[in-house]
Each structure stands twice: as structure tokens, then as C-alpha cells.
Structure 1
Amino acid sequence: MSIEKMVLLKVVGSTEDMNPIIKELILNENVHLNLNVENSNAYANYYVIHQYESDILGSTSLGLENSWDDEVKHLDGMGIVENLAKGMGVKLTVDKNILSENYKIKDVYNELMNIESSLGVKVKEINDKREIIKELQAFRLRVDSIGDKTLELNKLSDLNCFEYEIGMLSKENKWRLKKNYENLSAIVMRIGIINASDEDMYMIMYPKQFKGETDNLLKSLNWNRLERPEGITGTPLEMIGQIDERLNKLNNEIDSLTAAIEAEKKTNSNSINRLYNILNLEERINEVTEKAEIGNNIFAVDVWVQESELENVKKDISKVSKKYMLTQKTAEELGTQVVPPTKLKNNIFAKPFETIVKMYSLPAYNELDPTPFLAVTFCLAFGIMFGDIGQGLVYFLLGLALKKKIGDFAGIVMRLGATSIVFGFVYGSFFGLEKHELPWLPSLIQGGPLSPDNIPMILVAGIVYGLFALTVSYIYGIVNSMINKNIEEGIFGKNGIFGYMFFMSFVLTIIALTGIINVPVSAPLIVLLISIVAIVMKEPLANLVMGHKPLFHESPGAYFTESIFEAIETILAALSNTVSFVRVGAFALNHAGLFMAFLVMSEMVENIFAKILILVIGNILILTLEGVIVFIQGLRLQYYEMFSKYFKGEGVEFKPLKLTR
């Protein structure tokens, strides 16, 4: 439940071992190539390698035994392999076991060229025919959408004074065209609706003398002209028949070619996959080589390694080379000039919620990971707002069923569903039905959420949840500021200690003024005023505490103008925070009230099947429409009310070198 500790490892070695070392770094899959080399001062301070420095920085020549030869540089090896695999129906998979063998890139290319010369012509023919089939099928779909299949397009081509075009327009551009009707010297007719497409088919007819201006207007509307394949003529119905004939012929030809290469496919499929993995690895090696510092006899490359994987990386390098030197420094030793990558490390419960954090941004290396806190507060908010045993069970089972398809998001849905079930037992709600409809239903509160006795309690529960969530948010923000030694924001800022004091005194002042709890208004009001003054004076106060001079880094007038606006923003934010968390309880009441509306409608009909149908439709609407709204509300609370207190999100993602193609 933290951010992985990183170590910056400088690998210095002989150029003759460069490719084997980089190969091991890639296959390890726990090494992030450092691209922050622009900040050379930071590295010069810590990585002074005396006997290598002049060679690394003073020369650019390179002689590598396994690098790309001039005669194969121009060849697109991966493209050839992928075309062969596509034509032969071979599924390409990354297999690191294949890469344990030794090879020479020239031998690899010779093998590839032999396979390509043996099968390439047939495979190319198959791929070309498949592309033609794809184009014909797209054309057929568009022609088939034309309503009048007997439209004689050939006769239209014989007109002396008019020309026509058939093509596609998106719905958005259709409205733009309507607005320009008065500037268009043409007739526009929609002649077909294309299924599962944003575009419809149109015919445009115009006088020949207006061809230029019509073309310009259509170009501005992204007019997608329907291009007829060569030899396809007649009415739409006749064209469809001609296309089907061609498609059958092409498919038969592909079947014949496929049968011809089937025997060789069995022999070459493993070789193609092997070549794919080797060339994939070689591409990655060359990408790293381009980023390395290279001298006459040595190379140097900087990589970030997880502290927990450091010994494994060292062991992998030692297996392939004896002529190397490693120097390591932690992120803390390097200081703020260097930006380490961020890799989140969370337990099984919080792990899926990393997706929501990354949607916003990635925490910096020296920030607290917000994922565990987000996981707990998001689930609590969703449970309070959408507590129902049956509906929560639907979400849980849906997430379970889609786990392999949508990954982390399915995990989020499962956890939100489980929380909904828990709060369903609190409210005593099963698919919207409560204890008075289902007496056997367990419930911690009596009378359901909409009972007059329970409404204030649920609203207060939302506020208490909000106070808890915001308190932890302020603590996160203060800790993050202290980690970065930012006294000004950590103590005196609007999200620091005085910011939290202001927020709590603001809440207590409202409680005192409204008489909800009998407390004197003077104490919180005094703390509130002291806090707002501290926030306004944060820069001079912080400079005073740290002994920095001058107290103001700009003119006092400009500073106080800016600070007063910030104080107003702080007051508005405190009000917004309070109202936002009142909504949590309000959504819980809304959830119960929405189903009550469907329950009342079901009681107005006598037919039992109609009653069940109304209740089922009600639950479907609640699960879809209201479920999405509650999810968005939970997301809004995280992003706007909580993250703004503590999360800057300036992290660089840890992207390990690996075979990814």
C-alpha cells in the first residue's frame, strides 16, 4: 500500500557485451530506462567513473558484433514476419523461452528471407485478396443501404446539363449542410441509412456550371464520395449481385492458395513465431542502444530498478558478462534534481482502484499513494448512496463474470457491489423491497431509509462520512507537504494545518449557529478567524519560521490582493465540501424514493405479471441509470473534494523494458 522504492543503476560495460546485457535487462521486465539524462549535472555529481568517463563522453564510434548490419537495416523484418503470419493464419505470441538461445542477426534474416522467398508470393497474394474483399464488403454494405435498389445510375450519368455524386455524410455534417442550403446550388437527397454507422448515404445533383463551388462546399463537409470498384455498374441491386460474384471468386482463390501453403505452414509456423520473438527483442535492444552513452570500447546506460528486484537484475547481468561495472544510488541520495518513476504497490482489495487514480494522474515518487484511501472512501460512499442486497449482488456477479474481459474495472464493480450488499443489510433493502414487504429481511435500522425517524440519521451519516474523509485528506496533504519540506503549504496553506483548523471551526460554527448541538459559538469563531488570518499571511509566516528574508518575495500589495482571493476561495471550498457530503445522504434517500415510485405504480395494477414487470423495469433503471449517477458522484467527491486537498499527481509512470509488440 505504497509506492515501490526505486534505485538508479548505472550499467557500464564493454561494447562487445552491450547487446547481451541489454537483452537481459529487457527479459528481466523490471527495469525502467531512465530518460531524464538532460539533467547531466545530477548524474555528474554522483556517477564519476574515472577510468571510463572520457571514453563514454568523448567518442561516438561503436562496433557491435550483433548490431543491425547495413545490408539488413533497410529491411522491415517485423513487417515481413507479421505479413507471413497474417497470410498463413499463424498466431504470434511473445515467448521468452525462445530467446534463451544464442543467435546472429544476419543468420536470423537469412532464415527469414528463405521463408519469405518460399511462401512470400502466395502469402502476399492472400493478404492482397483479403484487402480487396474488405473493400468490396464495405462498398456492398453502403450500396445495400440504398433504399431504391432499382435506381438506374447509368441513366443519370448520361445527363447533359447535370452531374451527380453519391457519398456519405456524418450526422454532424448533415446539420452543417442544412444551415448552408441557401448557398448550395444543388439538390441533396438522403437515399440510405447505414446500419451501425454515424454516416448516411446521400445523392447530390447539381448543374455542371456549379461543379467547382459544389466540390468546395462538399470538401468542407468532409464528403466521403462512394467510389465504385472497376467494372461494377448498373442499379444497386445489380451491383450487389456483381460484388457477391467477385467475393465468391476471391474466397475460392484464397482457399486454393491457403491449401497450397498448408503443408508448409506446419513446418514454418514455429520458425515464424521464433523469428518474431527474436526481431521483437532486437528492436527493443536497438531502442535502448540509441539512448545509451557509447564510447570506443565501453557503453553506459542508466536504468531505474525496483529495490526489491535489484539483486535479480545484478544476477542476470553477471550471467552474460564479466566486463561491467555497476553503480547504484537511491532516489533519496540523488535529491530533487532527479525524477524517479512511480510504480504503485497495493494489496488485493485496493489494487483495482489504481485505475481510478491513474485516470486522474499518477502520484509523484515522493507523494503518498492515495489508492488505499480512495478504495475505502469510494466503497463507503457508494454503499451509503446505493445500499441494496439484491442490486449489490447483481453488481458483484456482473463484475465476477466480466473479470477476464475488463480487468481492473470489473474488480471495482465487484467491490462496490459487495459494499452495496453490506449497506443493504443496514437499510433492510432487497431489490428495493423493504422489511414491511419482506418481513424475513434482516435490517439494522427500523422502518427503512425513508422513515421520518431515519432521514435525519442518514443525512448526518453522510456528513460524518464527509468529515472523516476530509480529515484524512487534510492529513495526507500535510504529510505530503512535510515530505517535500514545504512548510508554507503544510502548516499555513489552505490545505495545511491551519486550513484544516479553518474547515473544522467553520463546521462547528455552523453547528453552533443552527443549534444542532448546544455549543458556544465564540470558541470555533475565534479559531476560524485566526486560521483565515494565518492562511492570508502564509508566506511571511513561513519565511519567519524558517528564518528566510525578505518576508515577502513580491510587493506586499500584490501579495495581499492574491491572498485575500485565496481566502475567499477557501471559504467557498469549505461551504462546497459541506454541501457535497450532505448529498451522500441525499442520494441514499433518493435511491429508496426512486424505487418507491415504481412500487406505487405496481400497486396500481391488479395483474400479477404486470406488477412483476414494473418492479423489474424499475430495478433495471436503478441499476443502470442511478448506478452510473452514484458512481459519478463518488468519483466527483474523490477528484474535486478530496484529491484537491493532497494530490498533485506529477508522477512519471514506471514502464519496464519488455517485449510489447
Structure 2
Amino acid sequence: MLRPERMSKVSVTGSKRVIDEVIETAYDHHSLHVTDYEDDFEGFEPGSSLEGAADVNERLVTVRSLGSILEVEPGDAGPTGVLDDAELQAELETVRERVNELTDERDELRDRVREIDDEIDRMEPFAELGIELDLLRGYDSLEVVVGEAKADAVEDALATAEDVRAFEVFSGNGVVAAFAYPEEDAEEGVLQDALVGVDIAILEVPDADASPADYVSELETERDEFETELADVEAEIESVKQDAAGFLLRAEEQLTIEAEKKQAPLSFATTDNAFVAEGWIPTPTYDDFAAALDDAVGDHADVEELERAEFTPDGHHNEAVHDADGHEAATDGGHEVSDDKPPVVQDNGFLANPFEVLVRGYGRPKYMEFDPTLLVFLTFPMMFGFMIGDVGYGVLYAAIGAALYWKFDDALEDMGAIAIWAGLWTVLFGIMFGGDLFGQHMISTPFSKGVAPGASEFALAWLVFSVLFGVLHLNVGYLLAFVGTSQRHGLKHAVYEAGSWLLLLNGIWAWIFSTHVEGMKPGFLFESITVVTGIPFAGLPQTVGFVGLAAALVGAVLLGIGEPTELVEVLSPIVNVVSYARLMAVLLAKAGMAVAVNLLAFGAYVGEDGGFHYIFTPEHLEYVRGHPESYDLVFGGMTTSPDMTAVGLVAGVLVAIVGHIVVLLLGITAAGIQGVRLEYVEFFGKFYEGGGKPYTPFGYDREYTASE
């Protein structure tokens, strides 16, 4: 699980006479990750598409265009089946003609409705004036301007105009109509010249004889008629969609498959008479793949396993491999025409598989790297659950996750599974913390989150245990780095690059938890372990502290020899581990928020036992107030006051509901982000880079069609 699936590089060499059969067989087997020929092998050149590829691509474009126009969705699919090529071509032409006819008609009607709407909008200013349209044009001796402007500004401009003998201005809601009688010797356009300095937006008078109101009414009637026709056309398009959706989905899938097959030779190396196709295949499937090709074309094609990729820096291994007949192949790779890294097939099992989405968020593992998915599965939901630690919130997280898991596919489905695991761990820690149910202790346990009065020692204890978890987590990361570096570069490099950090990490923290210079160290470092485990712990012996310092010194020396530039980060094992204190910080923050919500809504008191208890009824509050010698009232609460009205009661309940929803949502962001950060920054940074190539086997997972 910590390694990707073993991959083999294979070469398929054959006569061009059987290239169609080879492509069909490889496509149906759906296991060969084909690599592109890079035109760097003497005597070979990139292949060309098979005959008919252009026609298939053209039809595929048509099908996808029709699907987009009709807004076909996967849910519109009908029963699966096989489409005969002639049947596909005939039905596609029928659907295309009908859809084009209807969409052209729909577009024409939409344009007409849009034009009418624009004309109605253009008529609104004239309706505000209340003047007949024929009175605003057609004069021989008068000039008329209609526009949006201030009437006073227009009148002032016309009053001072030299070439205007008389004028009249009408206005309504910001629209003015100005009539001017020019002087006898004035040139045409006097009115507009007079308004040059006025802020006016001139409007064109519509060519209509009716009143503005009547004209708008005529336009609205015409628009209603076009909209009725448009609705009929859209209904017909929807009917065509219902009839053709299943066909279009099947046709798109079938044409996509045909196009991929016909374009496959573009990745091959070819000569006039032969071809070579290379790619990667999961090693366990090689024999079956070779047998399938042998059954299909016999001796007309030869399959060779060029190499069996090892987890080395270049992804290659020089062990002897074999061809399809079991004969040992050349260790130089036989007919190898490309040099590329193997793709990655992550194999993490049913339970851990959803957590691959978190790993790929950082970067898909390289073939030579350890795949950290299993470790993320073991640690991320546990950290999340610890930071929230509440049965109520945990159940809700799991319920949200279940809804995502069952309703969606792909990444959201994986996120749903992650939420379920996070919710389950939240419930487990909630039980450990006293059966916390939305901040309310339901059972008695030896543990507390540390936010209640008198429980501060637990807050410090969880700080210490967060740090100890960090030490353990980082040890795993450095150990993986040690093993990986040893396999790739040898033991010497592993000692310098990873062993040095292991010595520094464990040496420094062994000294911190030892009794050496005990007076300089806070007492809670040792007491916290006793608080949680019940086992008396006064610190590791001084001897262990001395050994730890010596180990850290040796680690620093090794680091200086192997990676001198990293000596400036010699204290990073302390910094990285302290970063895990955020686990305790989020735990206390979310617990404190839940307590604050309950305190505001219900009130609370500290009892004779020193415990923190909520108040849920007015009678209980009165009893607490009546016995101040036994109970220390913290807050009365919104819902428990004897003077509280029904409105106040409802308000208190709303505060409780909304407050816990806020805590729930903030828990997702705070605990989720901090957990991911610890995985990505602190943990992955020790041994993991990412950037691997995804495995995309040649083939297609059919959904709407059946193979012949």
C-alpha cells in the first residue's frame, strides 16, 4: 500500500496489416498506458491516423454540438445498446436537420422579442411627456428636439440663443420636448446648436402615429404573440431532446471510442510496413495482455516486456525481462523507442482509497516515492476527531459525509468518505472526553478537554500529548525518507540525509523530557503524562538526557557532512514538533465556543464537586441561587430566568441552535485546515515531493453503449 502498483514497460511490434486488430485488442483490454513516440529513433517516424478519422471527428463534433444545444445531461440516458454505423449516420442527420430548423426559428423569435423590448424601452420617455408622437415631428417652420435633460437648463439656453425667435419647452419626469421657431435668415439646426452647452441626451422620435401609450400597447401585444410562438418552439425543442438525448449520449460515446482508436497510431513509431507501440502496463496484467494479442493476431505482432520498473530515481531496473513467448528479452530494452517515467497506479484498498484525494491535493506520488495515502487515512481523521471531540458534532459530520458519499461521485464522494471517518473519530474522542454532546458532559470519564473550571491540568496535558504525537508522526516521515533514500541512493546518503534528522529529532526531545537541568523545564512536561495515563512519571533519567544530547550532536555533524547548507535549520525538529500544539489549541478553542454557546443559552454553575454544570430550567436556576453556599452561579442563561418571556425563550433556543451550527462549520474549517496543514507541511515535507504521472490506459469505460 505504501508503494504504487508495479509497472512494466512493453513494446508491441507488428505489421501494419494488423494494426487495426492490435488497436482493437489493446483498446478492449484497457490496460496499456500508451507513450508518445518523440521522433528520435532512426528509421521510424510518427504514425498517422487511420482511414476515416476525419469523418468520425466531424460527426463527433456534430453530436457534441447538438448535445450542447439541447442541454443533454447524463441523467437523460436511455438503455444501453449498439449503434450500427449506418443507423447512427441516418439518425444523426435527421436530428441535426430538425434541431437546426428549430434553433434557427427560436433565435429569430428571440431576436424579434428583444427588438420589441428595446422599442418599448425607447418609448418610455415619450410616454412620460404625454404628447402625441405625430406632434413631435413633421414641421416646416419649427424645429423639435426631445431628450433627457433638465427643463430649466434647456429654457435658459434657448432664451439666450440669438437665432431663436420663439420657443416652448414641455417636460415630464426628466424628459423635455423643446420647440423652437428660428429667425428667418437662420440656418437649419438652430435648436440643436443652441443646446450644445446643455447636458442633454437627445432621443429619436419613433415613426408611429399613435399615442405613446397606444403604441406601447400595440408593441406589447405583438411581443406576446411572438413569445407564444417562442414557447411552442421551445416546447418542441424539449420534445426533440427527450426523443434524441439517449441516442446522442450513445452516439457521442461510440464516436469518441472510434476517434480514439483511429488516432492511436499518432503515438506509434512507424515505417512503411511496420509499427512499434510502447507503453506501461501493470506488471500482473502483462501475461494476460500478451495472450490477448496473440489470440488476435498470432505471429503478426510481437509483444515484449522491455523492463520491469523498479523504485529507483529514474524508475528503471536492469533485471532480465521476457517476451510473450517466455524468452529473455534484451536488457537494453529491445525495440525501445522512448524513454519516459512509469505512470502511477495508487493501490490503497477500499478503506484508505478516498484519502487519495487529499494526497493528490498536494501532488500525485511519483513512481519512486512512498504513497502516503494509508498514513493519511490513519492520522488525518484521528487528528480531526481529537480537535473537535464531541459526539453531537461527530454524528453530524458523519451524516454530512454519508450524504455526500451516496449522492455524488468522484472527488465529492471521496470527501464524503473522509467526513464519515472524521465524524467517527470525533464521536470516539467525544466519548473519551466525558460523552460530550454539543459541549454538555453526558457521562463520567477520567478525561476532560480542559476548559471547565478546575480542569486546567488537562489543557496542559493535551499540549504535551499533541507534541508527543508530533514526535511520533515526524519519526514516521523521517523513517520513510531514510528507507526511500537508501533504496534510491544507498545507505550512506540515507544516513546523511535522513538519519541525521532522526538523531536530531529524537535526541533533542529525549533531552527535553529528561530530568537533566530539571529546574529549567516546566513541571507540566512530566506531570501531564501522569494526569492522562495515571502512571507516575517524573521525567526520563539524566542518562537518557545525556544520550539524547549526544545523539543530537552526532545528527548535527552528519547533517553538516552530508548537507552543510541545512545546518541553519538544525533546530527545525523543535519547531516542527511544537507546530503540533495547534491540535490542543483547536481543541480548546472549539470546546470553549461550545461552552460559551451553552452558557449564554442555558446558564451554568460550579457545584460542590467543583464540576461545571448547565442549568436547563427556571426551577433549577432558583434552587442554585437559593444555595450560594453550595453552588457558584456563573451565568443565569437566556432560557432559564423566571422573568423570561416566550420571546426570550425562543431567542435563547435560537442562540443555542445557531451557535452550535457556527461551531460545527468553524470546526470543519479550523480542524480540517490545521489537520491538512500538519500532513502537507510537517509530515509530507520530510519524505514526499509528488508530481507523478497519472495512469491513463488506452480504452474506455462504457456507460451508454455496449460492445459488439
TM-score scaled by length of structure 1 = 0.70
Confirm whether residue 616 of structure 1 aligns to residue 657 of structure 2.
yes
Aligned to 2:51: 67
Confirm whether residue 484 of structure 1 aligns to residue 485 of structure 2.
no
Pick closer, same or farther for the CA change 1:446–1:87 going to 2, 3 Å: closer
After TM superposition, give the deviation of residue 275 of structure 1 in Å. 4.0
Aligned to 1:636: 677
Aligned to 1:26: 27
Aligned to 1:651: 692
Letter in structure 2 aligned against 1:382: F
Confirm whether residue 79 of structure 1 aligns to residue 61 of structure 2.
yes
Q: Secondary structure at the match of 1:290?
A: helix
Decide which of 478, 483, 501 is 1:474's aligned counterpart: 478
Aligned to 1:277: 253
Q: Secondary structure at the match of 1:82?
A: helix
Contact (CA 8 Å) 1:387, 1:420: kept in 2 or not?
A: yes
Letter in structure 2 aligned against 1:8: K
Contact (CA 8 Å) 1:39, 1:338: kept in 2 or not?
A: no
Letter in structure 2 aligned against 1:29: H
Pick closer, same or farther for the CA change 1:289–1:153 going to 2, 3 Å: farther
- Superposed, 1:410-425 pairs within 5 Å as 410-425=416-431
Pick closer, same or farther for the CA change 1:569–1:286 going to 2, 3 Å: farther
Larger radius of gyration: 2
Confirm whether residue 586 of structure 1 aligns to residue 590 of structure 2.
no
Contact (CA 8 Å) 2:15, 2:301: kept in 1 or not?
A: yes
| Separation of aligned partners in 2, 1:617 and 1:91 | 37
Confirm whether residue 525 of structure 1 aligns to residue 503 of structure 2.
no
Confirm whether residue 301 of structure 1 aligns to residue 277 of structure 2.
yes
Aligned to 1:340: 342
Contact (CA 8 Å) 1:84, 1:116: kept in 2 or not?
A: no
Q: Percent identity?
A: 20
After TM superposition, give the deviation of residue 284 of structure 1 in Å. 0.8
Deviations for 1:217-236, whole angstroms, at most 9, x for unmatched residues? xxxxxxxxxxxxxxxxx99x
| Separation of aligned partners in 2, 1:160 and 1:86 | 44
Decide which of 281, 302, 314 is 2:290's aligned counterpart: 314
After TM superposition, give the deviation of residue 347 of structure 1 in Å. 1.9
Deviations for 1:592-642, whole angstroms, at most 9, x for unmatched residues? 111111122122213554443222222101110232111000011011101
Aligned to 1:397: 399
Pick closer, same or farther for the CA change 1:242–1:426 going to 2, 3 Å: farther
| Separation of aligned partners in 2, 1:384 and 1:444 | 16
Decide which of 88, 91, 96 is 1:115's aligned counterpart: 91
| Separation of aligned partners in 2, 1:245 and 1:566 | 79
Pick closer, same or farther for the CA change 1:243–1:297 going to 2, 3 Å: farther
- Superposed, 1:50-61 pairs within 5 Å as 57-58=43-44
Contact (CA 8 Å) 1:58, 1:295: kept in 2 or not?
A: yes
Contact (CA 8 Å) 1:508, 1:524: kept in 2 or not?
A: yes
Question: How many pairs align?
Answer: 528
Ranked by relative contact order (alpha carbons within 8 Å, sequence separation 6 or more), the top structure is 1
Pick closer, same or farther for the CA change 1:334–1:577 going to 2, 3 Å: closer
Deviations for 1:408-451, whole angstroms, at most 9, x for unmatched residues? 1111111111111111111124333333xx3xx36352686641
| Separation of aligned partners in 1, 2:114 and 2:467 | 57
Deviations for 1:560-585, whole angstroms, at most 9, x for unmatched residues? xxx3x5212232x2232122112212
Pick closer, same or farther for the CA change 1:138–1:459 going to 2, 3 Å: farther
Contact (CA 8 Å) 1:12, 1:324: kept in 2 or not?
A: yes
Contact (CA 8 Å) 1:449, 1:588: kept in 2 or not?
A: no
Moved more, 9-18 or 443-452: 443-452
Aligned to 2:502: 500
| Separation of aligned partners in 1, 2:487 and 2:302 | 33
Moved more, 386-395 or 331-340: 331-340
Q: Can you give the 5+ residue segments of structure 2 that lack an aligned partner in the other structure?
A: 130-144, 151-194, 198-211, 319-338, 526-538, 604-636, 703-708
Aligned to 1:354: 356
Confirm whether residue 452 of structure 1 aligns to residue 459 of structure 2.
no
| Separation of aligned partners in 2, 1:316 and 1:240 | 70
Contact (CA 8 Å) 1:431, 1:619: kept in 2 or not?
A: no
| Separation of aligned partners in 2, 1:88 and 1:11 | 42
Decide which of 252, 255, 270 is 2:235's aligned counterpart: 255
Q: Secondary structure at the match of 2:368?
A: coil
Aligned to 1:215: none
Letter in structure 1 aligned against 2:668: G
Aligned to 1:126: 102
Confirm whether residue 330 of structure 1 aligns to residue 331 of structure 2.
no
Aligned to 1:576: 575
After TM superposition, give the deviation of residue 293 of structure 1 in Å. 1.1
Letter in structure 2 aligned against 1:492: Y
| Separation of aligned partners in 1, 2:448 and 2:555 | 42
Confirm whether residue 625 of structure 1 aligns to residue 705 of structure 2.
no
More helix by share: 1
Aligned to 1:214: none
| Separation of aligned partners in 1, 2:371 and 2:573 | 24
Deviations for 1:36-87, whole angstroms, at most 9, x for unmatched residues? x5496xxx8xxxxxxxxx8xx357787x9x62277x37x6111222345566
Q: Secondary structure at the match of 1:301?
A: strand
Aligned to 2:189: none
For the aligned residue pairs, the C-alpha RMSD in angstroms reads 4.2
After TM superposition, give the deviation of residue 151 of structure 1 in Å. 6.6
Moved more, 478-487 or 520-529: 520-529
Pick closer, same or farther for the CA change 1:4–1:133 going to 2, 3 Å: farther
| Separation of aligned partners in 2, 1:504 and 1:282 | 59
Pick closer, same or farther for the CA change 1:241–1:96 going to 2, 3 Å: closer
Letter in structure 2 aligned against 1:525: L
Letter in structure 2 aligned against 1:598: V
Q: Secondary structure at the match of 2:278?
A: strand
After TM superposition, give the deviation of residue 113 of structure 1 in Å. 4.6
Aligned to 2:629: none
| Separation of aligned partners in 1, 2:270 and 2:127 | 67
Pick closer, same or farther for the CA change 1:341–1:241 going to 2, 3 Å: farther
Aligned to 2:531: none
After TM superposition, give the deviation of residue 392 of structure 1 in Å. 0.4
Pick closer, same or farther for the CA change 1:425–1:128 going to 2, 3 Å: farther
| Separation of aligned partners in 2, 1:415 and 1:130 | 51
| Separation of aligned partners in 1, 2:101 and 2:397 | 49
| Separation of aligned partners in 2, 1:26 and 1:600 | 65
Deviations for 1:268-319, whole angstroms, at most 9, x for unmatched residues? 7776555433321121113321011122222111121112322332343334
Contact (CA 8 Å) 2:44, 2:269: kept in 1 or not?
A: no
Aligned to 1:462: 466
| Separation of aligned partners in 1, 2:64 and 2:19 | 28
